[in-house]
Each structure stands twice: as structure tokens, then as C-alpha cells.
A and B are shown apart, each in its own frame.
Chain A
Amino acid sequence: MDLNSEIHEDSIQEQQKHFHVLAVDDSLIDRKLLERLLTISSYQVTCVDSGKKALEYLGLLDNTDNDSTANSSSSSCTSSSQQEVPGTKVNLIMTDYSMPEMSGYDLLKRVKGSSWKNIPVVLMSSENVPSRIDMCLEGGAEEFLLKPVQLSDLRKLQSHLLNFMDIENNNKKKKKKDDEEDDDNDDNSNNKNENNAYKRKAMSIEPSERRPNMKELVVV
């Protein structure tokens, strides 16, 4: 029993080492911060400065000319997987909410309506607007983080994602065992319930836990 769980943990950590995050933010400073936060937390990072560039990277826009856009947009941070064809491997998207042209919410909806719908999308915002947070979580966001994002936020996100990956792995194993598509429906509904539980958790815990400085008043 112990040996099995040890092996299981190793494979999760192995996966985490190659975890590739696509970070989307129009602010150069925030991109630099996020890149550093993620790198310190052992993720691979690619930064882009708009929703459009994110969609291009994911191969979700009409023009298939990925090379010029993907490299030129990662200005403040380097992608450790530049040799790979852009769009082949992304495990997590972290996006700012307020961006010109395409908001983080728009990007979320586009991703959730695409072949990338199963990867977690985390929204970030400097503004604490409950209705906005609800809207994003309802729209399929895995988490909603308040800026400035800190190492402690990523640590919480990490454990959340490990559970998420665990479910995904179990689902994959199940799919391998069973040939029938019928089981997919069961898997998806189980997956959904688990995800909803995390979303509810995010909603109830985030606002109070996340405010380190209670003195700060939210004035917009």
C-alpha cells in the first residue's frame, strides 16, 4: 500500500516539473512578477500580453502562423519550451481579468468552448468585485486570485491543482481500462462534481482568507 502511494506521489511531482503555464497579462510588470512566481514554484512559463496572443498560442485563431507571434509576445519572460511547436502543451492558463480588447473572462469562455476546455483557467484581478468573481467561477474558472498574486496563493493553487490532476489521471486510467464510451459520461459527471466542490471552496474561502491587509478598503 505504502509503496504504491509513494510511486503515485512521485509521478505527480514528475508531472509538476513539466507543468507548463500560459500566463496572460497586458501589464509588463505583472508578467514579470508572475513569471518569477511561477518559475520559483517550479513551473515552466510562457507569457503573452493579450487574449488574442493566448488564443494564437493555443492554436485557436484562424491564422496558423504561430512563430512570429508567440516569440515576439513573450517579451519579459523566456519560454523554457521554445523548441516545441507552440500550442502543443499547456497545463494551466493564468489570465488577468481587465485587459483591453479581450478580457480574461472572454478568454475563459473561448478556452472553455474549445478543445482546451479541460485545462484549468485561473483568473486574476486587482479589483475585488464579488459579482465579477462569481461570474468567472460560473464561467468555468478554476480559481479567482486577487492581485498582487503572492507565493502563498500559488502554494494553495498547487495543492488544488494536484487534486485536479489526480482526478484527471484517474479518469485517464479508467478510460484505458474500459473500451466503452458510456463510461465517459460517468467520468465527466464525477469530474464536474469535484470541480464544483473546488469552485464552491474558492468562493467561500477566497475573499476572507485572501485579504492579508484587513485595513485596506476597496475603493474603486
Chain B
Amino acid sequence: MDAIVQLQRQFVDYTTSLYRDGFLDDQFTQLQKLQDESNPDFVVEVVNLFFEDSEKLLNNLATALQQQIVDYKQVDAHVHQFKGSSSSIGAQRVKNACVAFRNYCEERDPEGCVRCLQQLKREHYLMKSKLETLFRLEQQILAAGGSVPMMT
């Protein structure tokens, strides 16, 4: 029983820190509401979709920015998509990185855009590793026979 309580406490602390540090926002909480017995893996599924999608977007962005003549409309379209999907899962810092990126697109600033892409990659990988940690904690709780605390 002790082990479960420990894990649950770890989970709550970790989740709280993710919200506090701005990695996650309310939309992530909304995602949890859509998960139930009939769809027990919904959050993980959506998050996995997001990371698959965003890997492609990051590659597309890198390619687009490497062109001799950069098509900023295309770059902006990719970033807009990235902004939308990160907003949909509550990945706040990723979303904010996209917002900043779009400003540089508008300025048609190639160096600014490259810097933004680097920042976006960093935020993306940070988010990925933090969510992996979170899901791992969930699995540990479930494996120990406990239930995952609901964050409200």
C-alpha cells in the first residue's frame, strides 16, 4: 500500500510541476476528461499522434528553411499547424514557441526563423521526455495495483 501512495504522491508532484512550469495548460486536463473505461488510453493515443505529427512538421520546417529561396508562406503554414496541434493537447510551451516563430515568419527573418526552429525542437523534445516520464509513473501506479489520481 505504501509503495502505491509513494508513487501517487510522485505523480501528483510531477504533474503539478508541469503545470506550474508552464509545460502543460488546462487543455491537458480537458484531455483527461475524455478518457474513461471505454477509452482508457485516449490521452496516450492523442499524445503519441501529436509527437508523430510534430516530428514530420519539424523535418518539413528544417527542409523549408534550408531552401535557397525560403517560402515563408509554407513555413508559416507548418508552424500554424504545429501551433494548433500543440494547443489541442495542452502543450503550452511548445505552443508559445510556435507563436514566436510565426512573428519571425511574418518578418521574413531567416536567421530568426532558424533560431525559432531550434527553440521549437528543444521545447518539443522537452515536452516529449516529460510526458514520457508522466506516463511511466502512471504505468507504475497501475502495475502496483493503484489508481492514477485525477488532476482537477
Contact = CB atoms under 8 A, between A and B. Distances in A.
Interface of A: 27-30, 32-33, 36-37, 40, 98, 126, 147-148, 150-151, 212-213, 219-220
B8 interface: no
Contact of B83 (A28, A32, A126, A151): A126
B126 interface: no
A215 B139 CA distance: 34
A30 B49 contact: no
Given A212-B26, A213-B26, A219-B103, A29 B33 contact: no
Interface in B59-80: 80
Interface of B: 25-27, 30-31, 33-34, 36, 39, 42, 45-46, 49-50, 53, 80-81, 83-85, 87-89, 99, 102-103
Secondary structure at the B interface, as helix, strand, loop or mixed, is helix
Contacts, number: 52
B88 A148 contact: yes
Given A98-B80, A213-B25, A213-B26, A29 B53 contact: yes
B46 to A, nearest CB: 6
Contact of B87 (A28, A147, A150, A219): A147
Contacts of B50: 29
B39 A27 contact: no
Given A27-B85, A29-B49, 14 more contacts: A29-B50, A29-B88, A32-B49, A33-B88, A36-B42, A40-B34, A40-B36, A126-B84, A147-B84, A147-B88, A148-B30, A148-B87, A151-B34, A219-B99
Contacts of B27: 148, 150
A29 B30 contact: no
- Considering residues A30, A33, A147, which has the most beta carbons from chain B within 10 angstroms of its beta carbon? A33
A36 B36 CA distance: 11
A220 B80 CA distance: 9
- Considering residues A28, A36, A212, A220, which has the most beta carbons from chain B within 10 angstroms of its beta carbon? A36
Contact of B84 (A30, A151, A212, A220): A30
Given A36-B34, A40-B34, A213-B26, A27 B42 contact: no
Contacts of B26: 212-213
A220 B85 CA distance: 15
A30 B39 contact: no
B104 to A, nearest CB: 12
Nearest to B89: A29
A219 B27 CA distance: 18
Contact of A37 (B34, B45, B87, B102): B34
Nearest to A30: B88
Contacts of B80: 98
Contact of B45 (A27, A30, A32, A40): A32
Contacts of A98: 80
30 contacts: A28-B53, A29-B46, A29-B49, A29-B53, A29-B85, A29-B88, A30-B84, A32-B45, A32-B46, A32-B49, A33-B31, A33-B46, A33-B88, A36-B42, A40-B36, A126-B84, A147-B87, A147-B88, A148-B27, A148-B30, A148-B87, A148-B88, A150-B30, A151-B30, A151-B34, A212-B26, A213-B25, A213-B26, A219-B99, A220-B102
A30 to B, nearest CB: 6
Contacts of A212: 26
Contacts of A213: 25-26
